[in-house]
Chains A and B, each alone.
Chain A
Amino acid sequence: MLKNTNVKSVEHVVIRFSGDSGDGMQLAGNIFSNVSAGEGNQISTFPDYPAEIRAPQGTLSGVSGFQVNLGHAVHTPGDEADVLVAMNPAALKTNLKFLKSTGIIICDSDTFRPADLKKAEYTTDDPIKELGIDKRRVLLVPMTELVKRTLEGSGLDQKAMLKCKNMFALGLICWLFERPVDSVLAKLKAKFAKKPEIYEANAKVIRAGWDCGHNTHSYMPTYRVETESVEPGIYTDVNGNTATAWGLIMASEKSGRPLFLGSYPITPATDILHELAKRKDLGVKACQMEDEIAGVCSAIGASYAGHLAVTSTSGPGLALKSEAIGLAVMAELPLVVIDVQRGGPSTGLPTKTEQTDLMQALYGRNGESPICVLSAVSPTDCFHMAFEAARIAIEHMTPVILLTDAFIANGSSAWRVPEESEYPEIKVPFVTDEQLAAEWKPYKRIGENFARAWAIPGTKGAMHRVGGLEKDFETSVISNDGANHALMIETRRSKVAKIANSVPDLTIAGEKDADTILVGWGGTYGHLYTAMEELNADGNENHKVALAQFRYINPMPKNAIEDLSRFKRIIVAELNTGQFADYLQMHMPGHEILRINKVEGQPFLVKEIVDGVIKHIEQK
Chain B
Amino acid sequence: MENNQNQYTPSDYKNKQSVRWCPGCGDHAILNVLHKAMAELQIPPEQTVVVSGIGCSSRLPYYMNTYGMHTIHGRAAAIATGVKTSRPDLTVWQISGDGDGLAIGGNHFIHAVRRNIDLNMLLFNNKIYGLTKGQYSPTTDRGTVTKSSPYGTTEDPFIPAELCFGARGTFFARSFDVALDTTKEVMVAAARHKGASVVEVLQNCMIFNNGAFAWFTDREERLNRTIHLRHGEKMLFGTDLDLGLVQDGFGLKAVKLGEDGYTIDDVLVHDAHCESNFLHQQLAMMDGHSLPIAIGVIRDVEAPSYETEVAKQVETVKAKKGFKNLRDMILKTTETWEVK
- Please report A residues at the B interface, Cβ cutoff 8 Å: 34, 37-38, 40, 187, 190, 229-238, 246, 249-250, 253, 258, 260, 262, 279-285, 287, 289-291, 293-294, 297-307, 309, 323-324, 326-327, 331, 416-420, 457-469, 477-478
Contact = CB atoms under 8 A, between A and B. Distances in A.
A468 B44 CA distance: 26
Q: Report which residue of B86, B90, B111 has the largest number of chain A beta carbons within 10 angstroms of its beta carbon.
A: B86
Contacts of A280: 313-314, 317-318
Given A233-B338, A281-B321, A293-B78, A458 B329 contact: no
Given A253-B325, A465-B64, A287 B310 contact: yes
B47 A467 contact: no
Nearest to B314: A280
B320 interface: yes
A187 B335 contact: yes
Nearest to A465: B68
Contacts of B44: 460
Contacts of B256: none
A305 B325 contact: no
B158 interface: no
Contacts of A460: 44, 46
A379 to B, nearest CB: 14
Contacts of A466: 68-70
A281 B310 contact: no
B86 A285 contact: yes
A305 B334 contact: no
Contact of B47 (A297, A416, A457, A462): A457
18 contacts: A234-B336, A279-B329, A281-B318, A287-B310, A290-B111, A293-B78, A294-B75, A297-B72, A297-B81, A298-B81, A298-B82, A301-B69, A301-B80, A301-B84, A331-B69, A419-B327, A458-B46, A465-B69
Contacts of B75: 293-294, 297, 324
Interface of B: 17, 44-47, 49, 51, 54, 61-62, 64-72, 75, 78-87, 89-90, 107-108, 111, 310, 313-314, 317-318, 320-321, 323, 325-327, 329-331, 334-340
Contacts, number: 203
A229 B69 CA distance: 54
A467 B78 contact: no
A418 B327 CA distance: 7
A290 B107 contact: yes
A235 B339 contact: yes
A464 B17 CA distance: 12
B111 A258 contact: no
A282 B339 contact: no
A304 B83 CA distance: 7
Given A294-B107, A305-B83, 5 more contacts: A281-B321, A287-B82, A287-B85, A290-B111, A457-B49
A467 B76 CA distance: 11
A327 B46 contact: no
A282 to B, nearest CB: 6
A18 B177 CA distance: 67
Contact of B70 (A283, A307, A459, A465): A465
A309 B82 contact: yes
Contacts of B87: 302, 305-307, 457-458
B72 A230 contact: no
Contacts of B85: 260, 285, 287, 298, 301-302
A458 B89 contact: yes
Contact of A234 (B17, B70, B338): B338
A282 B325 contact: yes
A457 B67 CA distance: 6
Nearest to B76: A297
B86 A302 contact: yes
Contacts of A323: 72
A477 B70 CA distance: 13
Contacts of A281: 317-318, 320-321, 323, 329
B38 to A, nearest CB: 12
Contact of B330 (A246, A260, A458, A465): A246
A262 B326 contact: no
Contact of B86 (A289, A306, A465): A306
A417 B81 contact: no
A551 to B, nearest CB: 22
Given A253-B325, A291-B107, A467-B71, A34 B335 contact: yes
B78 A298 contact: yes
A478 B20 CA distance: 12
A220 to B, nearest CB: 28
B335 A420 contact: no
Nearest to A462: B46
Given A305-B83, A469-B70, A37 B337 contact: yes
B331 A297 contact: no
Contacts of B70: 465-469
Nearest to B51: A301
Report the 9 A-B pairs with minimum CB-CB distance, sorted nearest first.
A301-B82, A467-B70, A298-B82, A297-B78, A302-B86, A294-B78, A465-B68, A281-B321, A290-B111
Contact of B339 (A232, A305, A462): A232
B326 A253 contact: yes
A284 B310 CA distance: 10
A238 B320 CA distance: 25
Contacts of B83: 301-302, 304-305, 457
A465 B61 contact: yes
Contacts of B61: 465, 467
Contacts of A284: 314
Contacts of A38: 335, 337
B11 to A, nearest CB: 14
A459 B89 CA distance: 13
A289 B323 contact: no
Contacts of A187: 335
Contacts of A306: 86-87
Contact of B82 (A305, A327, A468): A305
Q: Report which residue of B65, B69, B90, B334 has the largest number of chain A beta carbons within 10 angstroms of its beta carbon.
A: B69
Contacts of A231: 339
A233 B336 CA distance: 10
A467 B69 contact: yes
